[in-house]
Structure formats: C-alpha cells, structure tokens
Amino acid sequence: MTQPIFTYNQEQAVKAGNSAFISETGAYNCKIISAEYVQSQGGALSLEFSVETQDGLKGNYLSVYYQGKDGQPLQGGQNMIQAIMGCTGVQVLTQQFKDGRAYAPELSGKYVGLMLQKVLRTKQNGSDTYGFTILCPYFIKTQKTLSEYIENKPAERIQWLVEHTKDKDERDKQQNQQQGYQAQHQFYGQQATPPNSPQQPPVDNFDDNIPF
C-alpha cells in the first residue's frame, strides 16, 4: 500500500505565494533575531528589532527611538525598551560590534509578544509603502503586559488593543508636508531675502513630532 507523503492542508495551501513578512496590525508571538543600535541621518538614536513570529513571519526595521535629533531622551521610547527588557527578563543592555554594526546581544534569541500597528506611508516616488510600530510588548505565555504581571491583574490590555487598533495612515500628512515644503521653496525663490536671513524668521520644514 502506498504511503501518503502529503495530506492536503488548506491553511498551508493559501499561504503559497503570500508574503513571508508580517503585513497586518495585530499581536504576534515573536523571537527576537537581533536588536541593533541605529543612528538616523538626522542624528536620532533607535534600537531596531528584527523578529520572527511563531508562524515563520519576519518583521524587520521595528525601530524604537530613544534619543531625539536634539540629543534629548525620548521618554516614550525609553519606556518601551524598558518594557521589552522586563518581558524578556533582561536586566542590562550592552553594545557588541559585528561587521561595523552595534547590537544588543542580550536580546538576541529572546521570546516576547509584540502588539504591532501597521503604518501606511508614501515613498519619495509617490508609491505606497508601510512599516510597523511597536505599541506594547507582553509575556507570550500569559498574554499579560508587564504592568498586568506586576500588579497581578488579568490579561486584558493586548486583547483590547487587538480589537480596537486600526492601521495608522500617515500618507496625507506626508503629502501635506511635501506640498508645504515645495510651496515655501517657490515663495522664497521669488524673494530677495533667503528664509533664514536675519530679516526673516527661521523656517522649519520638518515636523517637530518626528524624532529623526
């Protein structure tokens, strides 16, 4: 009698040809592949995570900014890193250099739940793209956040976020910023005085809420 090698599995079948990367807002049980210290072109500092979910989906460029371009700490980002440390049981983060890059080796290989929000953006060429923001880490086994664990509360926060979190659309904001930038250039191109001369107030073409 011939022994079957494969038995049809519809759940596996529909995944054929689909992306091997995280593509939707949601809660994911993850293994941290790497945590890299990254400095943006503007000078802001972040800890950038690469992860893999229990279903084999990859998530890259999950950046947590902990220091702004002005050199000041970003409390929200620092709190997030501390929460990830708490959920993974890591007490100290150091730097280890490999191939010219700086990593936090203590987080590599650790397991943590991550609530991720999809952020829709526009590329410089006008096409659509997206990335992800870490909203909240949690313990995989209990589904509790760090505060729920410490306060011995039931696991409720992550389920609430899953039910109420929608994709964040930043495309209109980016387009408005670009249009404003172009309008300023057109305006000042007709003036004899440049925008940052002593006779004119300084012009800031960037959003102060963006840390980089």
What pLDDT sits at residue 16? 65
- The first and second tokens of residue 84, run together, are 């990830």
What pLDDT sits at residue 198? 37
Residue 82 falls in which region: left (phi positive, over 0), alpha (psi -120 to 50) or beta: alpha
Query: For residue 177, with 0-12 CB atoms within 10 Å meaning exposed, 13-18 middle and 19 or more buried, which class applies?
Result: middle
CA distance 138 to 27: 9
Instruction: Name the strand (E) or helix (H) holding 169.
Output: strand 168-169
* Cα–Cα separations (whole angstroms), residue 144 to 110, 157, 187: 17, 7, 53
Place of tokens 């620092």: 78
DSSP-H helix ranges across the chain: 10-13, 75-88, 146-150, 157-164, 171-188
* Spans in the chain with pLDDT lower than 70: 1, 12, 14-19, 174-212
CA distance 177 to 172: 9
Q: What is the pLDDT of residues 8-64, one digit of tens each?
A: 887 767 666 556 999 999 999 999 999 999 999 999 999 999 999 999 999 999 999
Place of tokens 């509790």: 144
Measure CA 40 to chain center.
14
**How many CB atoms within 10 Å of residue 165?**
17
- The first and second tokens of residue 19, run together, are 């992306």
Instruction: Name the strand (E) or helix (H) holding 63.
Output: strand 58-67
